Structure 1
């Protein structure tokens, strides 16, 4: 029997029905020649003679399936209900089945290709690099957006050569490999970002322990709390003004009453000219090293005091000029209590009992006790330090000019400048007031 012979009971009945107008009820258009006509409306692949796909094969290459009509592969024969072609309902069913199988095969092939692209290059059936999850590939497998291609005659886009090349690159696996590596990199970046953000959130929540208020920008809040790039508020600083001469002279300075410094002296440099026209006395000022007192202030005080009209320069009788070299008439020396005692003893004077100053007549030094200069005396009190220092200078220089001690004789009067006012203001029951000047105003 021939391979495509389909003679059987159903075939004979169909031919007979066509002539007699039986069940099918459709007359032939012409005399038959013993062969079935091919329906030109149905595609060649669905005429019932092609082999079934995806069906277990049996003997002779035909599927083990028997259908009504005695022929294999013709499929079931539905009755004609006026909606199908009377000439080939079996062919229409076979065509649809074949098309469905082809579409299923194409979809299966496409899915397999997608799996191969997602799993990376294969070697011996084992992937070299584990592929990322599909959502990462889909999320980052994007190409730069381009304008839509011009529409064709039926409204469909017309792809140019670059689009076709991109499609071809995806088919041969190179495009899929690029997308795979892109997806892997994107997945790694996304994972790192997620870890960083999670750690930042955990640290912030753990540090504060309080929920953040709604509507507050976290970055701004952190910037505000961490003072990132904020201008430091300028707090107005009180203006520091230099103390005047009178303010410095009225201020006490720390110095121990039993201090004995280095014993060596240093001359205050510079020249202060004599302002008057009387008898000129040149003097030098030495300051013992290690005292920690303002030597410039001491030199200024000496020069101003001696040349004041209430002092020994009264009425232009004399004038005083400070020098730092040459042969002065005397040297006014600011020294510690211990060193003052040493130099006063050279002239037979004991200054250690009351910690006082002296004119060491046997030497060229007029010794000013630094403790008294810094702290004053109880006879003047802390509020009259300026006056006490002026008295101290005038009294000791008065000794160098030849004046001896004088006592107050009128109760309540100003004490003479040559009275020992550091020790007391009361002598033989007569108490006087403190006085720094040789010629004080009455």
Structure 2
């Protein structure tokens, strides 16, 4: 794929591109064979693992055992016996010794059982898999422990796991139309042309705006994105000048902003670059639910594709098509709609410069 074209002053396009507008109005921009070999895959949503409460139980039971042992060790000799009662004194001492031994054994058994369970619950396998996607066991199986060393750190796993999830959202939702800016500033790579962008999220939208902002920044500053080879750096700002604004909005609000640039996105409920405005519009329904072309098990990649595709329009790139059977789809292909053109079916792809 050729290197990205230049950017107009300030990184903005002067207006909607003719090829871009026509692409939304073309009825034959569909799969030629009516089929899609990359239909939805197996669900990849992670299910949260429930803790067994063994840690708390171990602490509580262990404490009870200690109290029992200390109570049994109290001396049994009565202080009022005459000094000459040797038989009674010997019997009392023996009885106290036997009681103490029994108490220690019982205390060890009570404390030992829950403590073992607590250790199992805190094992690297159980803790390491608590944030990972996929099915969970109860922390006592050997499989979790065996695979723990190969898993990412908890922080990375948490982000990747959430980005792999689908979120419920009404495809006909029309929100307030008002936006809030996600606060904070994030520096890009610092190499090449620096573009400043802001992230806005529609108020009242039942989605995580902070997660969206993090995904945008990580995606745009990945070397596989539009800054490939150090050509560009993307800085997120929440105040001051911005070259463009990446906006997450409900389908109804997205349609209104796309219409400002002559684009009708209602037929396929897609996103757009509203080129005559400052906003790159990401349709919240697609962000939440994805598309059949990527399937349920590639939600993270689909969201990266959404960001790269629409920002690609902002940078001046027009739509592309599948040119060869089995090739990676160009990121500027309308992959939300189809992967097949002229009988050739491409594989889904999220990046302008895939490795």
Give your verdict on TM over 0.5: yes
Structure 1 stretches of 4+ with a deviation exceeding 6 A read 233-239
Spell out, residue by residue over 1:233-280, the C-alpha distance to the aligned partner (whole angstroms, 9 max, x if none).
999788665752111111111111000111100000000012231100
Work out the number of aligned pairs and report it: 209
Unaligned runs of 5+ in 1: 1-232
- Indicate the residue corresponding to 2:196 in structure 1: 282
| TM-score normalised by length of structure 2 | 0.57
- Indicate the residue corresponding to 2:162 in structure 1: 248
- Indicate the residue corresponding to 2:346 in structure 1: 432
1:12-411 maps to which residues of 2 (within 5 A)? 241=131, 244-411=158-325
SS at match of 1:244: helix
Spell out, residue by residue over 1:123-175, the C-alpha distance to the aligned partner (whole angstroms, 9 max, x if none).
xxxxxxxxxxxxxxxxxxxxxxxxxxxxxxxxxxxxxxxxxxxxxxxxxxxxx
| TM-score normalised by length of structure 1 | 0.46
- Indicate the residue corresponding to 1:35 in structure 2: none
Unaligned runs of 5+ in 2: 1-113, 132-153
Q: C-alpha separation between the residues in 2 aligned to 1:329 and 1:418?
A: 21
SS at match of 2:235: strand
Q: C-alpha separation between the residues in 2 aligned to 1:248 and 1:280?
A: 29
Task: Work out which structure has the larger RCO, using CA pairs closer than 8 Å and 6 or more positions apart in sequence.
Answer: 2
Instruction: Measure how far apart 1:324 and its partner are.
Output: 0.1
SS at match of 1:303: helix
- Indicate the residue corresponding to 2:48 in structure 1: none
SS at match of 1:301: helix
**Matching residue within 328, 335, 345 for 1:414:** 328
SS at match of 1:287: strand
Q: C-alpha separation between the residues in 1 aligned to 2:338 and 2:267?
A: 14
Q: C-alpha separation between the residues in 1 aligned to 2:194 and 2:230?
A: 10
Instruction: Measure how far apart 1:354 and its partner are.
Output: 0.1
